[in-house]
Each structure stands twice: as structure tokens, then as C-alpha cells.
Structure 1
Amino acid sequence: MKRLMSTLMATAVLAGATLAAKAETVNITVAAGHPPVFRWVKHTSQTFIPTVNKALEGSGISVNWSEQYGGSLAKVGGVLEAVEEGLAEVGLVSSLFEAAKLSPQNVTYFTPFVSSNATAISELMDKLHIENKELRRSWEDNNLEYLGAAIGIDDYLLMTNFPVKSLDDLKGKKIGAPGPAVNWLKGTGAVGVSGNLTTYYNELKTGVYDGVIVFATAAVPGKLYEVAPYVTKVGFGAQYAGGIAANKDWFDAQPEALQNALRRGGVAQREEYHKDLEAAISASLETMRANGATITEVSPEFRMKWAKGMENVAKNWAAQLDGEGKPGSSILSAYMDAMRQSGATPVREWDKE
């Protein structure tokens, strides 16, 4: 009996030693240029990281996370490079601020007036990344592994320090817009200036801008209604603004359990982020109204006039990418076809003109 007990104890000790030997702690730095006040960054802490940790239970792998947000490691537009170079293993990469390196990912920003459904657009873009090798190649060419967590952005608004009753009101006005969205102002007479959420408030306050193109759920935490109280619902549409990516060299060297956990985290973040987003859109508009903002919606005729007055920026963008050996026209067609199949009714058929 004593010999049996000794054998069992020895076996238990050996098993414990084996598990200890297999146990591994992985250090992961996750970076974002925007601060946690913005929903996609908040959900990295609240959804992505806990999901990854949960998925790793029982695998012998644990993660020591270092969260570097709000430009502490990389500013807006600098996260891709930080992850590419290995300064962070994982990052929230804003594709709209990476026009050169992630140009195919910006298809939605070159096709305004298509759909206001941010959830549908984000699901579609993550699906296209799975199905379309050409779309994934943009990330891989920059040593990144796309993990999903598509950041859908709610319907963009025009917020100004002057009332907008017609397109003539925009002539000569300086309007800040993110990345490719500057193109939406072509044909309006406004002067488009490239900008981002981290600077809008001060630039409006100091008169650098007369207005900005922004979405409701970011306008509220940024308190933009204080400096641009005229909110015009033009119907530019919801957009895809990027997602979560990992350094590819690092990712490929990780155990399959960790790779799968990171991907699961990406799916969970997209789903929870958009549940949160959908609930917040109407609340954000009400908050702005309660704080003195004047909210108006343009007529279908106004919207059509704006859309028709633009040059076909989508076709120009696609042709430029085609000339660079990138999948411009094919991505444009795939996206527009998928949106129409999902029930969207574009104000303008960008791919068919």
C-alpha cells in the first residue's frame, strides 16, 4: 500500500512538473492611437483582452498585457508602423489613416452615400478579409496579421459653427475630415482639410476649421457640439475604419492555441462593440441636442445633389490602385455587390458608372 501511495505521489509530482514546464506567460503589448474614451479602444480592454484570456484557460498559456493607448506608444496613423516593427505585438490599426499601406481597406471611404448600417458594413468587411486573399495581402505586405474586430463607424455627420441650409452655405468654408473623407467635399465649394478626432475640438475652437465631418458617437465624448453646434445629417453613410492586427512574424511563431484565442477575441470585439455602438447612436444625438446643438436632416434632393456633384472618387481610386498592381476595381465591385445584396440602396452606383 505504501509503495502504491509513493508511486501515485511520484506520478502526481511528475505531472505537476510537466504542466509547470508547459506553462507559458506571453508578454503582449497592445497599442492604439486614440484614447479609451473612444468605443473601439474601450472594448479592447473590456472585450478583446478578456475573451483572449478566457479562450486560453486550460491551455497552459497566460498573457501579461501592456495596454498603450492614447498615443502613449504610437499616435493616430502610427500604430501600423509600431506593430509592423514589433514595438507592439497587437494594435488597433486605423486603415483610414494608412491610405498608402492599406489602400484597398479604404473602399468604404471612397463610396459614400451607400449605407448607414455600421454593423452590416463591419460584418461584410471581416467576411471579405476571410474570403479575399487580395484584401488580406495589404496587411501581410506590411508584416501584419489581420485579426478581425472590424471597426464600424456610424453614419457621418457634418458639424459646423454656422447653419447649413444649402450647398451654397459651404462655399469657402474650411471643413476638417478624416483621411479619404476629404474627397466627399469635392464639388461643394468647401475647403477640405485632413484631420482626426484628437485635434478637432481645438482646431474648431481656434478657427482653423469652420466645421468637421464626424460621427455622433465620437462627437459626444469629444464635446464637439460645444464648438460646432450645427449638426447636419447629410447621410454620408457608415464606414469601415480598420481593425485589430498583430505583428505577423510574432503571430506566426505563437502556439496555435494563442493564435486561435486572438482571432476569437477579434470576433467578440466586433460583436460587442457594435451592440454598444447601435445603442449609443440615438443617445448621442439626444445628448448633443440636450446640450444646445441644432440637429437637422437634409432632404433627399439635397443629398442627391451633393452625391451627384462629386466626381466619381471611387472609380478614380480604383483605377489608381489597379495601376499600382493592387486590387482596386475588384475590391470596389466586390464591396458594392455585397452591399446591394445585403439590401443597401446606394444614392450613387459608384462601380457601374
Structure 2
Amino acid sequence: MPTQKTKFAAVAATLLMTCAAPIATAQEQIKVTVLSGYTDRTSWVHNLKEFFMPEVNKRLAETGNYSLKYTEAFGTVVKPRGEFDALQNGIGTIGLIVTAFHTDKVPLSSVSYVTPFVSTDLGLTSEVNDAITHSIPEVKAGWEKFGLEFLGHMGTIKSYAVLSKEPIDGLDDFEGIKVSGAGLNLRWIEGLGAVGVPSVLPKFYQEVNSGVAEAMIGWGDVVGAFKLCEVAPHFLSAEMGAVSNFTVVANKRWFDKQPDEVKTALREVTVEYRNLMAEATTAGDAKGREACVAQGGSVTELADDQRQAWADKLPNVAQEWAHASDANGLPGSLVLETYMTKMREAGQPIARQWDQE
């Protein structure tokens, strides 16, 4: 029979083992509604769903303290343009905003929209926009003013192109035709004799199909998702320029309450998502051109002298934008100068020095 001494030793050993064992902690699940007015058939929402969302949880799993429990709201809760208000008001937690739709609210995030014929390097364009946001306080503060936490820029446009019912071989072919476009990109056809039709991407197909427009300002990566070449199979490439057209944001009230570990994961994965989208968009641009040819259309590369002539015909939309921002007490000229300086330093094929005219 065990003696009192051996019983005591056994109890002591059990207590020692218990104290040495790690204390199990329950992983905290944080509810998140991820929102976009577009569906996951678009490359940006597809990669948000398939890469960004699981990658954040993968990063958080390294410590096991937290995980995000997602509710997807893609193309259901709001339509394109409605994301800003939905995220501001807490209907969504994290989401994508098209900056061109909200130039009245966050004008300083639209510099790549007013600088055509500067760069077709989408990764660089998005990276420079991020750098500007982090280095010029007023840019980030513009988002915070509306209760939004800026996480990063992301682009889906390697270079704008014009898709049309009939071939456009040169600048003279623009005379009198109606062109659907979204927001600031309609400024890119001023001076060519075309008529801009303000719209949004999901409406382009129907507008051209019904005769409201004869062409659209699009880009290769969205051709397949929106079947654009079915109605506008002729693809004109003029190396018009890349645009960092999306911003990843979070509802600021929600974001400020989150642990540092969650905030860091969201910020870091946003950068990776930005880089992934630059690669995916470049690949998608080539596929879009191929799709137009498969629909019986054509791909026309505008000659260099025509590209330069196009750029020269445009009003200085960049200076107009910068001066309007300056007049409202915002550093528009500083943002423009910083953007163009970084593009010059990167050796980009700039057709017009927008900040120096």
C-alpha cells in the first residue's frame, strides 16, 4: 500500500505537470462583413475572396489568438458607387471603393485618374499612390474624415483602352462617336471630338448594345467578366496609362477597436493583395485582347506619334484637378508634383509633364 509520503509525492508531481503545461486559450472570432458592389466574377473581388480573406486568417493563425469570421456581401448589399456610404455607416466592415466615384469626398486619392499617358506599370502606380497617402497627412485624413480607415490602394487597370462597335484606327475616327466612361476617365477623350456618356462598368454592355453609345473606355482585364467584346469587339490600345482605381478601406470605428495584431495583418495583406492584383491584371489584359479577336474583332496598337498627339490634344486635366484641390485647402499641387516626380525617377514613358506646364 502507498504510504502517506508516496501519496504526497504523487500529488506534488501532478501539480507540477499541470503548472508546466501551457494554458489553453480560446481563439477569439471577430465578425467581419466584406463588401463590394461588384460580384466575385470580377478579378478584384475574386482575389479579395480567394486570397485576401484567407491570407489574413493564415497570418493570424501564426499566434492563434484571433480569426476573422467573414460574411460576404459581393454584388448584393449595394451596387457599385454604394460602397462608400455602406462602409462609412458600418453596413460593411472592410471593402473596396472606386475612388473615381467619390472625387467630391476624397479627391486627393485620384491623382492617377488625372495623369493619362504617364505609366502603364500598374504595380508602380499603386505603390506610388500608397506612398503619397502615407507621406502627405491630408490624403489619409481625407478618408478618416468620413469614418474610414485607409488600408491601401489597388489597381485593376494596366492601361485604359477604347472598345468599339466599329474599328478605330486613328484619332480622326473619334469624331462624333459616343463613348461610355466612368467618372474622371471621360476627361481622357476630350479634344478628340467624341461625346462622353457618364456611366458605370456594369452598364457599358447594354449602352453599346442599345445604341446609347458606340464605344466604351474599358480595359483588357474586364472584357471576359462583362462580355464587352460581344458588343464592342474592336480594341484600341494607346498605352493611355495605368490607374490605381480601388482603395481597400475599413470602417474606422471598427478598426480602431481591433487588436494591433489584427490591424497589422490587414495592412500587410493589403500590400500583398495590391501586388497580386497588378500581376493578375497584366495577365488579364492579354486575355482580354485575345477575347476580342475571338469575337471577330481586332486589336489596334496606336502609333507613337498618334499617342503623343492624343496626349497633346487634352486639356491639362491634372493642373485643373490640382488647382481645384488647392482652392479647397488641400495640397493638390503637392500630390501631383510628388506623383510625377516619382514617375520620372522610375523612368516611365511620360507623354506630358503635367505638373510642369
Q: Report whether the alignment pairs 1:195 with 2:199.
A: yes
- Mapped partners of 1:255, 1:60: distance in 2: 10
Cα pair 1:29 1:88 within 8 Å, conserved: yes
* Letter of the 2:15 counterpart: T
Q: Report whether the alignment pairs 1:4 with 2:12.
A: yes
* Residue number in structure 1 paired with 2:4: none
TM-score by length of 2: 0.93
Cα pair 1:56 1:257 within 8 Å, conserved: yes
2:181 to 173, 177, 183: 177
* Letter of the 1:346 counterpart: I
Cα pair 2:234 2:292 within 8 Å, conserved: no
Cα pair 1:153 1:241 within 8 Å, conserved: yes
Cα pair 1:149 1:269 within 8 Å, conserved: no
Q: 1:245: Cα distance to partner?
A: 0.5
- Mapped partners of 2:53, 2:117: distance in 1: 34
- Mapped partners of 1:59, 1:323: distance in 2: 50
* Residue number in structure 2 paired with 1:141: 145
Q: 1:281: Cα distance to partner?
A: 2.2
Cα pair 1:121 1:152 within 8 Å, conserved: no
Q: 1:12: Cα distance to partner?
A: 7.4
- Mapped partners of 1:348, 1:295: distance in 2: 25
Rg larger for: 2
- Mapped partners of 2:108, 2:91: distance in 1: 25
Q: Report whether the alignment pairs 1:67 with 2:72.
A: yes
* Letter of the 1:317 counterpart: W
Q: Report whether the alignment pairs 1:264 with 2:268.
A: yes
Cα pair 2:28 2:65 within 8 Å, conserved: yes
- Mapped partners of 1:203, 1:251: distance in 2: 39
1:292 to 272, 275, 296: 296
Deviation digits for residues 133-157 of structure 1 (CA, Å, limit 9, x no counterpart):
1221221111111112522411111
* Letter of the 2:180 counterpart: G
* Letter of the 1:245 counterpart: V
Task: Look up the SS of the partner of 1:301 in the other structure.
Answer: helix
- In the TM superposition, 1:215-234 aligns within 5 A as 215-234=219-238
Q: Which moved more, 1:52-61 or 1:25-34?
A: 52-61
- Mapped partners of 2:152, 2:324: distance in 1: 26
Q: Which moved more, 1:276-285 or 1:32-41?
A: 276-285
Aligned length: 348
Cα pair 2:229 2:291 within 8 Å, conserved: no
Q: Report whether the alignment pairs 1:92 with 2:96.
A: yes
* Residue number in structure 1 paired with 2:165: 161
| Structure 1 unaligned blocks of 5 or more | none
Q: Which moved more, 1:254-263 or 1:302-311?
A: 302-311
TM-score by length of 1: 0.94
Cα pair 1:231 1:295 within 8 Å, conserved: yes
- Mapped partners of 2:99, 2:106: distance in 1: 6
Cα pair 2:154 2:277 within 8 Å, conserved: no
* Residue number in structure 1 paired with 2:84: 80
* Letter of the 1:61 counterpart: Y
Task: Look up the SS of the partner of 1:266 in the other structure.
Answer: helix
Deviation digits for residues 28-79 of structure 1 (CA, Å, limit 9, x no counterpart):
0010111111111111111111111011112421211011112x11211111
Q: 1:167: Cα distance to partner?
A: 2.6
CA RMSD in angstroms comes to 1.7
Q: 1:243: Cα distance to partner?
A: 2.0
* Residue number in structure 2 paired with 1:305: 309
Give aligned-pair identity as a percent.
33
Q: Which moved more, 1:321-330 or 1:275-284?
A: 275-284
Q: Which moved more, 1:281-290 or 1:312-321?
A: 281-290
Q: Which moved more, 1:127-136 or 1:152-161?
A: 127-136
| Structure 2 unaligned blocks of 5 or more | 1-8
- Mapped partners of 1:283, 1:98: distance in 2: 30
2:115 to 106, 111, 116: 111
1:346 to 336, 341, 350: 350
- Mapped partners of 1:334, 1:100: distance in 2: 21
Cα pair 1:48 1:269 within 8 Å, conserved: yes
Q: 1:11: Cα distance to partner?
A: 3.9
* Residue number in structure 1 paired with 2:44: 40
